[in-house]
Amino acid sequence: AQSVTQLDSHVSVSEGTPVLLRCNYSSSYSPSLFWYVQHPNKGLQLLLKYTSAATLVKGINGFEAEFKKSETSFHLTKPSAHMSDAAEYFCVVTLNYGGSQGNLIFGKGTKLSVKP
Amino acid sequence: EAQVTQNPRYLITVTGKKLTVTCSQNMNHEYMSWYRQDPGLGLRQIYYSMNVEVTDKGDVPEGYKVSRKEKRNFPLILESPSPNQTSLYFCAIQDRALSTDTQYFGPGTRLTVL
């Protein structure tokens, strides 16, 4: 069975400092992993995805994530936070094999606050 | 560009009054899905459809129905809504032919059941 755990429900950083949003997953098969962002009163936007290619994945808006199989982690990072990064972030896992049904398993979300 | 349209975007209704939330796509994708989002719980899948006339339950299907009579539309039906179905609902599509595992989400429908 697959599952995903976002280790922090809320993270607060100052503008210009690094961002780290933590995610651990559990999957019996080779997973695909995603980070989605949801700004207040907005829909979901794909930030980046890992699908068994390079383990360091670069996404939009300066975010990146590293797939670490030995640690079953897929943490999201950004070197320097911007006020516009304040949003809720979701780590997502799905199976990655030939007959994938595409069912996504969402983490419970991490709210990122950015202080001026 | 993939476009997923949901209607209505906001709805306030009363317990027991049947309602339908429509979802429509412009990409001819086979896979469509419905999720609900609740604070502290992330998104949970309600139903999904692999193709026309092929639907299956997700993690939280109780109290919901769906239909897939044509490829572009995947309505979510609440036959007798209850207050615990107050939530934010998202429709999603996926291009399974490319096996990208990436889903595109609609803008969301905020439902309040009184």
For residue B8, whether the previous peptide bond is cis, meaning omega lies within 30 degrees of 0, is yes
Tell me the pLDDT tens digit for each residue of A58-83: 999 999 999 998 999 999 999 999 99
Name the residue with higher pLDDT: A26 or B36: B36
Q: What's the structural domain count of chain A?
A: 1
CA distance B90 to B79: 18
Q: How confident is the model at residue B101, as a pLDDT?
A: 64
Mean local confidence (pLDDT), A94-100: 58
Share of chain A above pLDDT 70, in %: 91
Q: How confident is the model at residue B98, as a pLDDT?
A: 56
Q: How confident is the model at residue A96, as a pLDDT?
A: 54
Mean pLDDT across chain B = 92
Contact A73, A24 (CB under 8 A): yes
**Ordered alpha helix ranges (H), chain B:** none
Which residues touch A94 (CB under 8 Å, ≥6 apart)? A2, A31, A32, A34, A100, A102, A103, A104, A105, B101
* Helix (H) or strand (E) run with residue B92 in it: strand B87-94
Minimal Cα distance from A47: which residue of B? B102
Minimal Cα distance from B36: which residue of A? A106
CA distance B93 to B104: 5
The parent domain of residue A107 ranges over 3-115
CATH code for the domain in which residue A45 is found:
2.60.40.10
* Lowest-confidence pick of A5-14, A53-62, B94-103: B94-103
- On the question of pLDDT at B96 being above 80, the answer is no
Contact B73, B23 (CB under 8 A): yes
Q: How confident is the model at residue B27, as a pLDDT?
A: 86
Mean pLDDT across chain A = 89
Candidates A43, A102, A108; nearest CB to B41: A108
Q: How confident is the model at residue A40, as a pLDDT?
A: 87
Amino acid found at B96: R
Mean local confidence (pLDDT), A15-30: 90
Q: How confident is the model at residue A87, as a pLDDT?
A: 97
Mean local confidence (pLDDT), A16-33: 89
Interface residues of A toward B, Cβ cutoff 8 Å, are: 9, 32, 34, 42-44, 46, 49, 51, 90, 94, 96, 98, 100-104, 106-109
